[in-house]
Structure 1
Amino acid sequence: MNKEVYKQFIAEIPDYLEGKLSPERRVQFEHCVDYFPECKSELEAYKKLVHNLKKENPVPTDRLRANFEEALKLEKSKEAKVVPLEPKRNNWATNFLKIAASVALLIASYQTGRIMQMEKSNQDLAGLLEQSKLDKQMAMLSLMENQSASKRIQGVSFISEFPNPDQEIMAALAERLLQDENDIVRYNAFEALAEFTTTDFVKEVFIKSLKKEKNPSIQIGIIQSLTKIQEKKAIGPMQQLLEQEDTQPFVKNEIELALPKII
């Protein structure tokens, strides 16, 4: 999960619980809760904190409030009397106020400590998330090198976990497209790379693939992708496919439709 997105999620927890998020932002927030276990855990921890604070800071009952007000009136009626040199030791209202102040201070201290603990937990979690990302990348690269075609397909599908894949991941996908013996693996690699057709790296990979690829479905997919961005370097390989006898008629028809859009 992106670190900035995670920070925004943490900051929006109070607004979410109070119903202050916009409908669009609320949907995005709940998507994070459903999709990322760490977000769900953080939300539950915050809910528990609020619940505990409410338990530790109860609202006075009507009876307790009445007793307090009665004691307060009694103290006011004594204001006209001579103030003793020493304060009464058993003043109920004074003791009550002292206790209330102590409880409030204790709760404030607990809240401060809890917030500091949450900040440290967030820092630790951010580190774990980064490590998790590295673990996923290692798993993805390892699967794409597996002898089993189904495992290689699974490895390619891991691309959904990386909105901004690094060069190592892109190179591994390119190798699957250019070198893999399995048509399905190559097609899945093409689809993964097609999300980044505007990059120079993927353009070059697609042009190389077009020169050697024999699967018609992949050929058409690459032709359409390069036509969409009007890549002029693709004109040569497309014309070569037109001239080859083993090129399927429907692939040639796709090229004949595509070339005028590029030229």
Structure 2
Amino acid sequence: MKSEKDNFISSQLPAYLDGQLSPKEKQQVEDHLAISESCRKELEELRTLFTAFKEEQVQVPSDKLRNQFNQVLEQEKLSQSKVVLLENNKRSWASNLLKIAASVALLIAAFQTGRILEMEKSNQDVAAILEESLQIKQTAMLSLMENQSASKRIQGVSYIEEFPNPDEAIVEALAKRLLHDDNDIVRLNAFEALSGFASSEMVKSIFIETLEKEKNPSIQIGIIQTLVKNQEKKAVAPMQRLLEQEDTQPFVKNEIKLALPKII
């Protein structure tokens, strides 16, 4: 019984013979062929079939045969009954030729249809593998962000690069790090990860909530600049409160004074 790997490589063989695989995919197929006798056998069968299609030619009667045929035809015209027989033979020959041509065309069509179906199945299998891989990465990312080690939490946050369109679970996990993590570097990394999606209403709300409680000046300034860039008017009130607080760093207050006119 074939393994899943054998089935996957088998679906790649037509494209491999056609030279349609990328160098990486080609190497993957060849590495598997080196250890799989069944796949090598299937490859040879496909190669034989491909060669037969390429070399198949319709045999055309030679000039000598055509001349002989014409001579016989002239002789047979002397007899009406034989002419009828000859015409029937001629039609039979033509009919057989058409049948052969139709059979070859049907075989080729069936083979091409099979190849298309295999390629579609292969694409679906690849998509399923990629989806499963992303789910594994997401599980690892969420698990790392809950780790007791700050370095592990930072590693988990960095996995955001694997998700161009993170779902709500990932955004909420990053928000939790930004709002509640006791390590400044983890919070800063969480902010940087979320800033790539700052146009999202959910992310903007997270930044506004963070601005109300964050004490790290670097994160404060980063959030202020991001909210101003996105023209978030809801950020005006928390910025003004931050401006009035005595413990707010002077350079943060200066940043707020420069930012407020841009969104008020």
Query: Common fold, TM-score beyond 0.5?
Result: yes
1:56 counterpart residue number: 52
1:70 counterpart residue number: 63
2:172 counterpart residue number: 171
Equivalences for 1:129-148 in 2 at 5 Å?
Answer: 129-148=130-149
2:110 matches 1:115: no
Amino acid at match of 1:80: E
Contact 1:180 1:186 in 2 (8 A): yes
CA distance in 2: counterparts of 1:114 and 1:139, whole angstroms: 37
Q: Provide closer, same or farther for how the CA distance between residues 68 and 176 of structure 1 changes in structure 2, counting only shifts above 3 A.
A: farther
CA distance in 1: counterparts of 2:221 and 2:255, whole angstroms: 7
Amino acid at match of 2:212: K
CA distance in 2: counterparts of 1:72 and 1:251, whole angstroms: 99
Range with bigger deviation, 202-211 or 167-176: 202-211
CA distance in 1: counterparts of 2:100 and 2:67, whole angstroms: 20
CA distance in 1: counterparts of 2:202 and 2:61, whole angstroms: 77
Q: Provide closer, same or farther for how the CA distance between residues 74 and 162 of structure 1 changes in structure 2, counting only shifts above 3 A.
A: farther
Amino acid at match of 2:245: Q
Deviation by residue 1:15-51 (Cα, 9 ceiling, x = unmatched)? xx99xxxxxxxxxxxxxx79x97xx99xxxxxx9xx9
| Larger Cα-atom Rg | 2
Amino acid at match of 1:230: Q
CA distance in 1: counterparts of 2:235 and 2:251, whole angstroms: 18
Q: Provide closer, same or farther for how the CA distance between residues 213 and 75 of structure 1 changes in structure 2, counting only shifts above 3 A.
A: farther
Structure 2: any 5+ residue segments left out of the alignment? Answer: 1-14, 30-42, 77-81
CA distance in 2: counterparts of 1:71 and 1:172, whole angstroms: 85
2:188 counterpart residue number: 187
CA RMSD, Structure 1 to Structure 2 (Å)? 3.9
Q: TM-score, normalised by structure 1?
A: 0.65
Deviation by residue 1:231-251 (Cα, 9 ceiling, x = unmatched)? 233223222322333322221
Equivalences for 1:1-263 in 2 at 5 Å?
Answer: 55-59=51-55, 68-70=61-63, 73-74=66-67, 77=70, 78-82=72-76, 102-263=103-264
Amino acid at match of 1:178: L
Amino acid at match of 1:203: K
Contact 1:56 1:107 in 2 (8 A): no
Aligned residues: 217
Q: Provide closer, same or farther for how the CA distance between residues 233 and 75 of structure 1 changes in structure 2, counting only shifts above 3 A.
A: farther
